[in-house]
Structure 1
């Protein structure tokens, strides 16, 4: 999945998280156009595939390998051109996700090394109406979608395969009901450009556990069993106009979660749930805050996408009983590597996930009950080194090396010893079929 995106249409946004590396935002203008047979009628089609393979060559619970993938089919309908509704666009997307999750199978930690894994079915991911007002200064979108393709993302994040960075910093999913692609629910969000550089962005998203079940395919629009809403917000300052030599984005954001969630420690009778086997106590109400940025540092040639960019994220919990207390992440991406490889990238990302006192109590209680010592490590560090090879404008290959220092034991709570640090070989590839057909 792939905060300031260069695409504004939700289908393009969502596809950018799966195919962000196929055609970088700074791609040269002579790249072949996409095949768009219905463009004259106002219809822009999307078709892509993302695959991610991973194997842990050392560490974790045991050695294994897994592949996960996604087929993405979407369309943007320009309703001004089609039926004369000025500033209106209808967005539609369906995905098919398949494959297995190496982290759950063989590593035992709580964060995947294959970000494309999730829902594992055919799913209606997007069905929204987007309306522009005030000469484009105000933009409102409503319908069926997800918070994570609208908030807390950047094209830089998905140069990587680890779910700790792509498509969003993983902290928000551990500590809130932040809705994620492709599990769609009712939503609305609005962007107001206060100035060309300053933007206010806020949304409201239905919290419904039914929408995340494997049996749900996104076509059930009922709000039955919804437990509340989550309200994300962002205030951003951007320097990304054609006149800005070195673009950058600086964002302060957060969320108010008014949906139900499971207590990370206590059961419904105030015992420790992992020991009693009883259902976790149900709570309601959490909030969090984050600051993030991305900045291009070098741009030797305005006619080339070559340049060095950095990004950083700091996140903390404000209220509620949560799994993690804070998250720190940073990364660096060089676009343009060797001679003649202007579209290739090399990047490194690292993040620190700090577990809360409640999570530590739970994991240590399980360790002691299994006969071990209460020496669970509080911090999990995940890092990745990735190279993006632009084979042609439609196909991108990204071999990567990942390392997990101090994997948490959420996937193996009955172990008596800490999980060994894991070294993972990964391989991500993306194919933009519409651009492939346009060659």
Structure 2
């Protein structure tokens, strides 16, 4: 006897329910918080007592579909392993509003931007794999303690940390480096160190009104911290000065956006280490060799960050359209990148069936200092080179602006598993007009164990 359509649907629904039930307590369950599970309840129990642990693994793959300095197609992979722990000392020892963090990271792999996209004489300012860089080594990325006073309106933090943990911080919804996190680490990365590099530092943040806060800090400027074999360097003997950031933050819920949350930040830093002029010697003449150029006894930058939720789903306020805009203006006397601009949009919760998935579109641009171009052109003039001599190894590429665009889809299978296929477009990698614009396919995978 043939089954009715209703009976068929009933059996199919029962089969699907049993299948989901069989996966409910497996690493592939959509409700799985960690791939290794809750350790028979011990993990949650430890967190309730103030001990939170996490093991994360992220890979970023990229292949050049078309264009770039070297158009031989290749798929390259970068990896990062993160071992993190967060301690709530209010639960552990009764110290009110006090936390501590220890994080160790390990990076490995290869970077497509360096090997295929950009001219080796003028590297891409961004990177199509944001976790590539700062050496293939183990690093102490965090080791700090933070405590709150005056009903937690005043917070004090001290230890080892990256600068963008607390200043010039931004979202990271993309694989392209310039669209992920704060920008200063990309435009003045020789003195502003983001994770995984850490340095000794301290900062204070004071919330003087419900929507307003101000922060200031001081961090060591120690280039030894960036070396590949110095990931656990704790000494300060090689420090060259101090970096002092200040930032004002406004977190309103504006009526024009139906009361949705936003965050707006303006900041600046002053660095005391010596910095080499990008163009001139002490007499004001163009100098090709860095050793011959003028030394400045400070360096400075200004930034503006904005992030705003624009719309919200009627049944879930976290779903909706988000936007961010980030800008930096750097010291023209000492910095190759004079300014940078970033604009990004992402929509979280594409449909009811995928409330945690998102689609993102971002744009990032670097504007090269015209004083740098003057020096590069002068160097070519000394050798009687013109643009037709670009292929000559002695030619100094003239750097202009660079544009990076990324379109992606973030597939959050569960809190433990995320996949992010993406398509990137790089215009004038390294600011060099002779480098063909590149199309890149990328894939980010992230696992929480």
With the length of structure 2 as denominator, give the TM-score of the two structures. Answer: 0.80
The equivalences for 1:101-250 within 5 A come to 101-108=111-118, 109-119=124-134, 120-155=136-171, 158-169=172-183, 173-174=187-188, 177-218=191-232, 220-239=233-252, 245-250=259-264
C-alpha deviation, 1:278, in angstroms: 5.4
Answer yes or no: is the 8 Å Cα contact 2:90–2:98 preserved in 1.
yes
Aligned position for 1:315: 328
For the residue of structure 2 that corresponds to 1:39, the secondary structure is: helix
For the residue of structure 1 that corresponds to 2:164, the secondary structure is: coil
Within 2, Cα distance between the matches of 1:203 and 1:399? 38
Within 2, Cα distance between the matches of 1:187 and 1:198? 23
Give the number of the structure with larger relative contact order, counting CA–CA contacts within 8 Å between residues 6 or more apart: 1
C-alpha deviation, 1:202, in angstroms: 1.6
Answer yes or no: is the 8 Å Cα contact 2:86–2:99 preserved in 1.
yes
**Does 1:391 pair with 2:404?**
no
C-alpha deviation, 1:226, in angstroms: 0.7
Answer yes or no: is the 8 Å Cα contact 1:309–1:334 preserved in 2.
yes
**Does 1:290 pair with 2:303?**
yes
Answer yes or no: is the 8 Å Cα contact 1:54–1:114 preserved in 2.
yes
**Does 1:92 pair with 2:92?**
no
C-alpha deviation, 1:302, in angstroms: 4.2
Answer yes or no: is the 8 Å Cα contact 1:201–1:235 preserved in 2.
yes
C-alpha deviation, 1:430, in angstroms: 0.9
Greater shift after overlay, 135-144 or 362-371?
A: 362-371
Within 2, Cα distance between the matches of 1:302 and 1:370? 67
For the residue of structure 1 that corresponds to 2:371, the secondary structure is: helix
Change (3 A) 1:198 1:54: same
Within 2, Cα distance between the matches of 1:392 and 1:185? 34
Answer yes or no: is the 8 Å Cα contact 1:265–1:359 preserved in 2.
yes
Answer yes or no: is the 8 Å Cα contact 2:187–2:337 preserved in 1.
no
Q: Deviations over 1:314-372 (max 9, x none)?
A: 22125642112221211111111244111111111112211102221244345554833
**Does 1:44 pair with 2:58?**
no
Within 2, Cα distance between the matches of 1:262 and 1:205? 20
Structure 1 unaligned blocks of 5 or more: 1-29, 411-416, 434-439
Within 1, Cα distance between the matches of 2:33 and 2:253? 23
How many aligned residue pairs are there?
393
Aligned position for 1:371: 385
Greater shift after overlay, 337-346 or 88-97?
A: 337-346
Q: Deviations over 1:254-302 (max 9, x none)?
A: 21122233443458999866x5585876543111212221111111224
Change (3 A) 1:265 1:104: farther
Structure number, greater radius of gyration: 2
Q: Deviations over 1:215-270 (max 9, x none)?
A: 1022x2111111111112211110369xx841111111121122233443458999
Aligned position for 2:344: 331
Within 2, Cα distance between the matches of 1:146 and 1:255? 15
Change (3 A) 1:172 1:253: farther
Answer yes or no: is the 8 Å Cα contact 1:175–1:322 preserved in 2.
no
Within 2, Cα distance between the matches of 1:207 and 1:375? 30
C-alpha deviation, 1:97, in angstroms: 0.7
Q: Cα RMSD (Å) of the superposition?
A: 2.8
Within 2, Cα distance between the matches of 1:236 and 1:212? 29
